[in-house]
Structure 1
């Protein structure tokens, strides 16, 4: 269990720091149905991450060789995932907005004021399984878990730890809101503005670091 958690934890931190889900929660906390929408998003985010990372982990673990070692293709998959993360990271960095230029906000941000808890939960799932950057990270986490353990129990526990760590980022704004009430609005809006403006740079740094790690792990596996 320790090895699987250790291998996947850096990737979970990458998901934790992904700006767009955090911005989505902040926007929900400044809308009319603040607590209901934000709570639905956080719970759905956790469940979606857990389901995705566990599915990948069990799929990869199910192809282990007879001696219990991970199948050789998991090493190649890590190499492919590492290269993809590096490519996406470079594209994010090159596409970052220039000084004084505000990046365009995704269309769904403008509609969050009118979201219901069900739509908030649905958005969380979409940001996990449709957003290519988050999906790459979650898949990488699942492969890392599978390559470090061969039994069901440790895989489940490592997947739970991965999902819990990956959920901290979207849970922190809710904790600030609950602790500070109306006073939290200014802090949350400042956090939202900073993360939207620096989204490309944050993701570029995360993807480049994690891509390098996963690529190295893949080479070591082979």
Structure 2
């Protein structure tokens, strides 16, 4: 269990430090429908990570192998996922000078809690960058040779760690709105300016980690 959780930590950090969902959460907090939209977004974010990681864990279990002796199939999948993350890192780096705000962010003021929930699920479970990280985590858990209960614990731990940044923004603002408001606005501005560069570095590191684990299992 310990080795599997340890292998999930860098992937969870990669999801947690993704700038876009943090920016979205901050914008919702500062929007007209702050409370409802932000809470809905947080629930959708957690649900998206949980579902994708859980499904991939079940599929990866079919490949067989254990954490100490992974199957060839699981190792090849990890290498492919790692290379895909590196490719995305290169794309993000090439786009690092782009600071334009996405269209959906401009419409955040009009989001209802239900729409915010759907947006959270899409950004966490369908967004290509996070999708690859969650899929990599699911493969790592499924190929870890854990029991069903162990898989469940690993999925929950990964989900909580991957969601900590968004949850911290939403819960922190609920507890100390007056103190955190200016700080969150400054953080939003910095993340918007450095979004692509941050993600490029994160994805490159995560890709190297996943490729290394895949090669090590061959």
Shorter-chain-normalised TM-score: which range?
A: over 0.9
Q: Equivalent residue for 2:80?
A: 80
- Give the TM-score normalised by structure 1: 0.92
- Give the TM-score normalised by structure 2: 0.94
Once the two structures are TM-superposed, the CA of residue 85 in structure 1 deviates from its matched residue by 0.7
CA distance in 1, matches of 2:30, 2:49: 25
Q: Equivalent residue for 2:38?
A: 38
Q: Equivalent residue for 1:50?
A: 50
Q: Flag structure 1 segments of 5+ consecutive residues without an equivalent.
A: none
Q: Does 1:175 align with 2:171?
A: yes
CA distance in 1, matches of 2:80, 2:50: 22
CA distance in 2, matches of 1:32, 1:6: 40
Query: What do you get for the CA RMSD once the two structures are aligned?
Result: 1.7
Q: Equivalent residue for 2:110?
A: 114
User: What is the count of residue pairs matched by the alignment?
Assistant: 217
CA distance in 2, matches of 1:152, 1:179: 36
Q: Flag structure 2 segments of 5+ consecutive residues without an equivalent.
A: none
Q: Does 1:140 align with 2:136?
A: yes
Please point out which of 173, 184, 188 is paired with 1:188: 184
1:76-127: per-residue Cα shift (whole Å, max 9, x none)?
A: 0110111111111112112211xxxx61111100110010000000001111
Q: Is the 8 A contact 1:4 1:154 kept in 2?
A: no
3-state SS of the aligned residue for 1:104?
coil
Q: Equivalent residue for 1:215?
A: 211
CA distance in 1, matches of 2:56, 2:71: 14
Once the two structures are TM-superposed, the CA of residue 69 in structure 1 deviates from its matched residue by 5.2
